Structure 1
Amino acid sequence: MPRRLLKLSLLAVLALALPGAAVTAHAQTPEANAAQADGLQQKTLYETGASGRFLMGGQWQFKLDPSGNGSVADFAANASTTGWANVAVPNAWNAKDYSDASFTGGVGWYRKAFHLPSAKKAFQWIVRFESVNYRARVYLNGKLVGKNTGAYLPFEIRLPNGYLKRGGTNLLAVRVDSRRFPTDFPPSGLSSTGVPTGGWWNYGGLLREVYLREVDSVDIKDVAVLPDLPCGSCDASLTYRATLRNYGDKAKKIKLRARLGAKTIGLGETTLAPGEARKFSRKIGVKNPKTWSPTSPYLYNTSITARSGDDALQTYTVRTGIRSIKVVDGHLMLNGKPLHFRGFGTHEDSLDKGFAIDDAQREQQIQWAREAGATLLRSHYPLHPYYYERLDELGMLAWTEVPVYSVKTQYLKKRIVRQLAAKELESAVRTNINHPSIIVWSAGNELSARPGPVQGYYIDRAVKLAKSIDPTRPVGLAVAGYPSAGCQPEYGPLDVIGINEYFGWYSGPNGQIADQTTLSDYLDSVRQCYPNKAIVITESGAEANRSGPVEERGTYEFQQAFINYHYGIYATKPWLSGAIWWTLEEFAVKPGWEGGNPWPAPPIHQKGLITMAGVKKPAFADMQRIYKGTVQWGP
């Protein structure tokens, strides 16, 4: 049984005792018992990360703020339960509501009463939110302690000692504003006819789990374990990077040690003054490494521990793979062998929970993709960490993108918007840097097909920033495929160009992609424009929701013919590094969505090969035959 599934099967017995469990146990203390009664559990839904994490499960309360101007006294500091609904977090408050008002967004408040797992004064406490959509203000016992803007990526807020009740009940409250603007990621607003616009359904809430993190004076952050594999049969090296910060009120003498399997590695020693942070880095050799690949996804167990004297203050756990991913002569090469991957796009969405899905549904999506023969997943935003850990374990690949999607040039030209977009990519890289499954960092999707200097500036800045953090992976961008776009010098800094092609489905500007028989020549023209860049089909698709004539758009038969024609063309382009169908499973887009289907079912995007109810369409079998018949890595 795979390691992950074994752990899940033992969940009730073992309380999911993952490597992320706290260094210091809190069994049988009054504080620990009170915290457990509040629903705090010393476990995580994924492994990578620092010790001392407590899942803030159990009962939360939720209340809408219709005016959007509710006072702190009413929502964050008032113990009254009037009008509050009991919910479980993760939670999307507008799941199952596909109205215009739901998509436009609003303001809601979440709150949770909790006790600290330990009253020890040396401990600092940090609350970690895995994803909040979209603007969050966080209050502790009625006091504002932090803010964040943006979804799909985690953020952390340290809880000030002066606001904490170490031996009593604390009240954590979060104001969530899900209203989007044209400068957000993805942008939203109104069309010229007053219809809400946006990239996918705007679910509001605490969309992924919340953790309380214990810090015994010293915290380990920004951990990276980066492999360097010169060739498939070469010796390798690993570069360890980490940042230490002393949150205590006294200086600490620290030894930083790493473990790689049974091997201990000294990363350095230092004395940190209160509030001081310091970076550590060391490169080590690994002889005769067991490499990570789709056919043999070997993972090394490694960790970094900060010690003060005999005390282990914190441990950061990583499972990593040694592999290389490079662009050589215009092709993506994994461990020196060419990739021709076949994959699916995916969204975190469900009919009953909206975005706030659980690991069981994530696992189902992954298994559907494997059943179809896919080796890669792509989304418009960084996926939940569970996906990446499972892809690591299974030898699958990931195209990891930030939601800088269809931002209009008039907004992208604003310096602050470009800076925020680049920061989004920086956060995605730092968060997910240790997953060998990730082979491309994507700086965005479907910006203007004729970039110009504004987009060129963003691309250049984003690529340089990503590579300054992670020099081991290529950086790409997904673009809308139109023949009239021509060759674009602004794409010069990119290593990989993703083409979203819908030839024969949409008509495109001036009807230039209406005829699918022009696809082959178009792809050849892209290759001529960018002979030294890896080219990937990042999207292709056709809606299907009924049986009917093969020539009728929106039928299962049309979708089957579309797949067979397009993938037949891809097979004649050996220089293509991969192709991705958009999407594996249906998801909600926006009010009035029709997607080119004459008989749509808005707001559901129906290009998926599996319905939101979990039913496979006839084209699933066609794709399975094609994917399993394709050599996706090597020789």
Structure 2
Amino acid sequence: MKSRMPGLCWLLFLCAAGAHAATSEAALQMYTRANHSLDGEWKVIVDPYENGYYNYRYEPYDQQPDPPVGAFFTDSKMKTPSELIEYDFDKAISLQVPGDWNSQDPKLYYYEGSVWYRRKFDAPAHGASDRVFVHFGAVNYRADVYLNGKKLGVHEGGFTPFHFEITGRLKDKGNSLILKVDNKRHADAVPTLNTDWWNYGGITRSVDLVVVPAVFVRDYQLALTSLEDREVAGSVLLDGAKGGETVTLSLPELNIRETRAVGADGRAAFRFRVPEAQLWSPRDPRLYRLVIATADDTLVDRVGLRSIATRGKRLLLNGEPLFLRGISIHEEYSAEGGGRVRNAQEAKQLLSWAKELGSNFVRLAHYPHNEHIVRLADEMGLLVWSEIPVYWTIDWNNEGTYRNAEDQLAAMIGRDRNRASIIIWSLANETPVSGARNRFLSRLAAKARTLDDSRLLSAAMEKHYRSDNPDVAVVEDPLADMVDLVSFNQYIGWYDGLPEKAERVRWEIPYDKPVFVSEFGGDARQGRHGDANAIWTEEYQEDLYLKTLPMLDRIDGYVGVSPWILADFRSPRRLLTGIQDEYNRKGVMSEKGVRKKAFFVLRDYYRRKAEGR
């Protein structure tokens, strides 16, 4: 039996403090802490030639010992009538944070380049020994961050959180926080130049100031190590501890209260049983209040206990067979203006649509989604697949590209490894097999195991056909040996023949592992009707679903599916005027949430599956 048992799993990674961005094993648990929000209106300057960063010799201002007033991050003002300064944040336009610039200003709809953001703020109340951090939920793609004219650091990766410690760097009044945000695509980036979603630029998730004591709870982990005995083991790490300090871990509803002294490394270990605990599941997403307290700090959260495992070709949740009634989701909400999901309300709407479909599972594609959505999945009883944007073909031989991917993997796991809803970490999507690719992904798989060996590992692979029989589809990939769940995308009926082809295809998948179909589908413009043989119509998409789902049921080891996709989403690849209009139309709903005919086919299928039919 292959067991991945996080049960109650809450681990965040130790972060180097000071003027450095979050590294590959750094995270700051702050979602449930009191914080000082910097969301709202930020002043912005669009800078396509990066005049505020480079001089006319293309030398970066922030690498000069005394940057000139022309460097935008100095936020300078004219001191005399004759002083030449060619920018003024106070007179600049404003954008809302969180939010992307593409959907907020029509002039920036297609823009890829640099935009400077500035927010003025007063220092939050804090004691003389307290520590202060600035935390960014996500910035796409590269963020150069400055506070009061001094550089804090750089972060790359458009979907992962990062932070800087700013203790001792704040003024009482009028602090100037400035970011140069650059969403240009690069061949050696993750993702690379070519994707099938919109490259939304900006500070797309919340910005917060967090005040903590000199010694605070930074890293904590609890894991259900035995399903049968209901044994929980874990640890707590205190940042700033010298050793000997005590920490108490409590689960009040389970009458658990354990106190330990931390060692010289600041860590305390825990082990106890919870025989009365109710296990988390989609049917009953039970969450328990968790309290971690020291002499000076208290951290409170809600956590769920559950196990996830495989046994041969079976997928087991809490020891019971599980079928994943899934749907894929992009982090886009177009019902009110479009763009990236900006808040918990929009995230909840996406998950509510998935629940209306009858789903018990969502595939969050193709990058780590916002923290709201995974925490809501905990509450709403939706299992989750979370992945990093190693998408299509990236620079497999570039060590810097690998480090970037590993950093994003570590940040995703570091933030979310404690969510009961998440059962699968995904390494990649539709990557072509090669020696370089296999080495790259094998390193990522090994890293994922070291970061969190309590969940299943997978990736969206591809199929091919037997050379001697075009009706036999084969899923065979060296990556399948590295993962726990054999997952693949297939588009029979859209990119691969007509829907009727699904009625004769047979499958060969030579692994003693569960099989999950991570994508299938076809495009339909909502409200476009016609014969079932006419592409782009709701009837064609409906027929594709009607023929595909029985085909999937015939696959040996089939444990679930996440069709592509919940709702239509923007993509610059989709250019057919009057039908696509820069939207991928494979949603079972329109971008406004209107249900297409395929929605009801899938909903009926999931109702039968839920009933065991």
Opposite residue 236 of structure 2, the aligned amino acid is: A
Map 1:238-249 → 2, pairs under 5 A: 238-246=232-240
Taking structure 1 as reference, are residues 386 and 519 closer, same or farther at Cα in structure 2, changes over 3 Å only?
Answer: same
Supply the distance in 2 between the matched residues of 1:204 and 1:306 (Cα, whole angstroms). 40
Equivalent position to 1:607, from 586, 593, 600: 586
How far the C-alpha of 1:238 sits from its partner, in A, is 2.2
Deviations 1:51-72 (A, max 9, x none): 3422223432122112123147
My pick for the range that moved more, 607-616 or 79-88, is 79-88
The aligned residue for residue 579 of structure 1 is: 561
The aligned residue for residue 134 of structure 1 is: 141
Secondary structure at 2:532's aligned position in 1? coil
Opposite residue 461 of structure 2, the aligned amino acid is: V
- Please tell me whether residue 53 in structure 1 is matched to residue 12 in structure 2: no
- Residue identity over aligned pairs, in percent, reads 27
Opposite residue 258 of structure 2, the aligned amino acid is: I
- Please tell me whether residue 429 in structure 1 is matched to residue 417 in structure 2: no
The aligned residue for residue 599 of structure 2 is: 620
Aligned-residue RMSD, C-alpha: 2.6
Supply the distance in 2 between the matched residues of 1:48 and 1:534 (Cα, whole angstroms). 36
Opposite residue 368 of structure 1, the aligned amino acid is: W
The aligned residue for residue 202 of structure 1 is: 199
- Please tell me whether residue 290 in structure 1 is matched to residue 278 in structure 2: yes
Supply the distance in 2 between the matched residues of 1:322 and 1:119 (Cα, whole angstroms). 36
Secondary structure at 1:431's aligned position in 2? helix
Map 1:178-577 → 2, pairs under 5 A: 178-188=183-193, 197-230=194-227, 234-246=228-240, 254-261=245-252, 262-270=255-263, 278-307=266-295, 312=296, 314-351=297-334, 352-378=337-363, 379-408=365-394, 411-448=395-432, 451-483=433-465, 487-506=476-495, 513-516=496-499, 519=502, 524-526=507-509, 529-530=510-511, 532-545=512-525, 546-573=528-555, 575-577=557-559
Q: Show structure 2 runs of 5+ residues with no match.
A: 1-28, 54-60, 62-68, 78-87, 467-473
Supply the distance in 2 between the matched residues of 1:563 and 1:126 (Cα, whole angstroms). 49
Taking structure 1 as reference, are residues 117 and 104 closer, same or farther at Cα in structure 2, changes over 3 Å only?
Answer: closer
Taking structure 1 as reference, are residues 170 and 209 closer, same or farther at Cα in structure 2, changes over 3 Å only?
Answer: same
Deviations 1:188-218 (A, max 9, x none): 1xxxxxxxx3231001100011110102112
How far the C-alpha of 1:496 sits from its partner, in A, is 1.2
State whether residues 461 and 477 of structure 2, in contact with CA within 8 Å, keep that contact through their aligned partners in structure 1: no
How far the C-alpha of 1:236 sits from its partner, in A, is 1.3
State whether residues 294 and 396 of structure 1, in contact with CA within 8 Å, keep that contact through their aligned partners in structure 2: yes
Taking structure 1 as reference, are residues 173 and 181 closer, same or farther at Cα in structure 2, changes over 3 Å only?
Answer: same
Taking structure 1 as reference, are residues 97 and 330 closer, same or farther at Cα in structure 2, changes over 3 Å only?
Answer: farther
Supply the distance in 1 between the matched residues of 2:515 and 2:126 (Cα, whole angstroms). 55
Supply the distance in 1 between the matched residues of 2:545 and 2:240 (Cα, whole angstroms). 56
Supply the distance in 1 between the matched residues of 2:173 and 2:479 (Cα, whole angstroms). 57
Give the aligned length.
546
Deviations 1:142-177 (A, max 9, x none): 11012100011111111141x321x22211111101
Opposite residue 543 of structure 1, the aligned amino acid is: D
State whether residues 463 and 475 of structure 2, in contact with CA within 8 Å, keep that contact through their aligned partners in structure 1: no
Taking structure 1 as reference, are residues 243 and 386 closer, same or farther at Cα in structure 2, changes over 3 Å only?
Answer: same
Bigger relative contact order, structure 1 or 2 (CA pairs below 8 A, ≥6 apart): 2
State whether residues 243 and 266 of structure 2, in contact with CA within 8 Å, keep that contact through their aligned partners in structure 1: no
The aligned residue for residue 181 of structure 2 is: 176
Deviations 1:425-476 (A, max 9, x none): 222111101111111110111111xx23222222322222222222221100
Secondary structure at 2:442's aligned position in 1? helix
Supply the distance in 1 between the matched residues of 2:312 and 2:331 (Cα, whole angstroms). 35
Kindly indicate which of the two structures has a greater share of residues assigned to helix: 1
Deviations 1:535-582 (A, max 9, x none): 111011110011111101111000111111111222334621111111
Taking structure 1 as reference, are residues 387 and 119 closer, same or farther at Cα in structure 2, changes over 3 Å only?
Answer: closer
TM-score (norm 1): 0.81
State whether residues 452 and 490 of structure 1, in contact with CA within 8 Å, keep that contact through their aligned partners in structure 2: no
Taking structure 1 as reference, are residues 621 and 168 closer, same or farther at Cα in structure 2, changes over 3 Å only?
Answer: same
State whether residues 591 and 602 of structure 1, in contact with CA within 8 Å, keep that contact through their aligned partners in structure 2: no
State whether residues 97 and 203 of structure 2, in contact with CA within 8 Å, keep that contact through their aligned partners in structure 1: yes
Opposite residue 538 of structure 2, the aligned amino acid is: Y
